[in-house]
Structure 1
Amino acid sequence: MDKVVATAEEAVADIGDGASLAVGGFGLCGVPNVLIQAVHDGGATGLSVVSNNCGAMGTGLAVLLRSRRISRVTGSYIGNNDVFARQYLGGELELELIPQGTLAERLRAGGSGIPAFYTPAGVGTQVAEGGLPWRYDGKGGVAVASPPREVREFDGVPHVLEHGITTDFALVRAARGDRHGNLVFRRSARNFNPVAAMAGRITIAEVEELVEPGEIDPDHVHLPGVFVQRVVALTPEQAADKQIEKVTVTKVDA
């Protein structure tokens, strides 16, 4: 039952070329940076990534993007990631851009053994009708476009069929975790991390604080250990290494 692995490098050693990864986090919050760096150092390429966004401020998945290790992204947000935008528009990267709530539900469904579900999100748009550019040809044209989705009415309201997502691996970050893999996420880091963890066939969690089994109240567990196969305890320095994407301050009159 002890799922603790000594190092991040050991935990991701079997992630090879062409693997698919579900990765938790949103912007700079809750991103498994240590595991991502270990994947980079391991040399895997041609990766298919499922994540809300693909790194920010040169951190997170941007580390893999810069090295051109990612071939396909399923996500919801490009944002200010100029490397992401440049590779996508240049035809180097395939992107399936889907609504954020739909992405979360597709991950949850895949982890719950639900093959597909219907949602009204995307009806009447290219999400349902097809034609979204998945890959450009590098010359301004579209090389691969999204196919049309099945649409069905429920109580007079059209819904589009979306498929659950499962991946070879999942990488997540938690505030606390025990040796059995039970995880607790702090505040907004409890965003895509639980559903990403559910979707991975092998889920690897980096935890800021490792505790013994029984130290986490069962009522406080956000993700049961049944979804987690490997746990990596971060050093105090790694746990404290957190950036702020946008600093907002209020001017106070003297």
Structure 2
Amino acid sequence: MDKTLPDLATAVAGIEDGMTVMIGGFGGSGGPMELIHALIDRYLATGHPKNLTVVNNNAGNGHVGLAALIEQGMVAKLICSFPRSADPRVFTEAYQAGKIELELVPQGTLAERIRAGGAGIPAFYTPTSYGTDLANGKKVEEFDGRPYVQERWLKADYALVKADRGDRLGNLTYRMAARNFGPVMCTAAATTIVQVSAVVEPGSIDPEAVVTPGIFVQGIVEVANPAQEEQLNRANARYPEAAE
């Protein structure tokens, strides 16, 4: 029942070529930077994983985190809501060069597709995107005189999530806005790996405060002082540093 992992390299060791990976975060808030960078380290050492499909709220910023993952050529397709953010140059250049595919999803629809994947709901209807290019090729039904577009669930092979505290059984709490997509992604992935600021003993977290129950978590690794995307970008950081 002890789900703690010894290090970040072990945490990402099971992610293979062609997998779908959900990555938590809303911009930099809740982004699992150390897990992403560990995945890049593995790629640089072995050439794997590659051809990933990544599900995230945006397309990364600067040259760290998700942007660095894209910059290394590891991502074949991105499913997101906001491909244009504060500094999206890495994704923009890759997309314009035809090196990455984009599936654009309205933010509420993205959250609901992930939630549906975790809840075992294969499809649902929403009025969002009706009459736009995003609805092309999708089934449309009318309910109470209003057209609705059918959207399919989203599931993943892995989810990489950042939480605040986690006990050895995988029960999680989150810090403020860092909660965002993490809880629903934990439910929608076959394997969920979480980095936490502190691993605590079972019983240390009030059951009423648990946001993600341990049943949805397969591995947990402690990162006591996690990096923040915005701070790294203000310092003009790159990952890996050798890319400079």
Give me the TM-score of the superposition, normalised by structure 2. Answer: 0.89
Please tell me the residue identity of whatever aligns with 1:52: N
User: For residues 94-173 of structure 1, what are the structure 2 equivalents within 5 Å?
Assistant: 94-128=101-135, 130=136, 148-173=137-162
Please tell me the residue identity of whatever aligns with 1:55: G
Number of aligned positions between the proteins? 226
How big is the shift at 1:244?
3.4
1:58 aligned onto 2:66: no
Please tell me the residue identity of whatever aligns with 1:185: Y
Aligned identity (percent) is: 47
Q: Which runs of 5+ in 2 are unaligned?
A: 44-48, 235-244
Does the aligned pair in 1 maintain the 2:166–2:199 contact within 8 Å? yes
- Tell me the equivalent position of 1:89: 96
Does the aligned pair in 1 maintain the 2:33–2:229 contact within 8 Å? no
How big is the shift at 1:217?
0.9
Does the aligned pair in 1 maintain the 2:33–2:228 contact within 8 Å? no
- Tell me the equivalent position of 1:182: 171
Structure number with greater Rg is 1
2:229, 2:81 → 1: CA distance? Answer: 22
1:244 aligned onto 2:233: no
Give the SS at the match of 2:141: strand
- Tell me the equivalent position of 1:16: 16
- Tell me the equivalent position of 2:51: 46
- Tell me the equivalent position of 2:4: 4
- Tell me the equivalent position of 2:196: 207
Does the aligned pair in 2 maintain the 1:22–1:171 contact within 8 Å? yes
How big is the shift at 1:88?
0.9
Cα separation, partners in 2 of 1:189 and 1:46, compared to 1, 3 Å: same
Give the SS at the match of 1:57: coil
1:40, 1:54 → 2: CA distance? Answer: 16
- Tell me the equivalent position of 1:32: 32
Does the aligned pair in 1 maintain the 2:138–2:150 contact within 8 Å? yes
Give the SS at the match of 2:162: strand
Please tell me the residue identity of whatever aligns with 2:228: K
Does the aligned pair in 1 maintain the 2:22–2:54 contact within 8 Å? yes
How big is the shift at 1:153?
1.1
1:63, 1:232 → 2: CA distance? Answer: 21
How big is the shift at 1:42?
1.2
Q: In structure 1, which of residues 219, 231, 236 is the aligned counterpart of residue 220 of structure 2?
A: 231
- Tell me the equivalent position of 2:77: 72
Please tell me the residue identity of whatever aligns with 1:188: A
How big is the shift at 1:59?
2.0
Q: Which runs of 5+ in 1 are unaligned?
A: 131-147, 248-254
Does the aligned pair in 1 maintain the 2:31–2:229 contact within 8 Å? no
Q: When you count helix as a share of all residues, which structure comes out higher?
A: 2
2:213, 2:163 → 1: CA distance? Answer: 12
CA RMSD of aligned residues (A): 1.4
- Stretches of 4+ aligned residues off by more than 2 angstroms: 241-247
2:192, 2:228 → 1: CA distance? Answer: 22
2:187, 2:34 → 1: CA distance? Answer: 20
Give me the TM-score of the superposition, normalised by structure 1. Answer: 0.86
- Tell me the equivalent position of 1:136: none
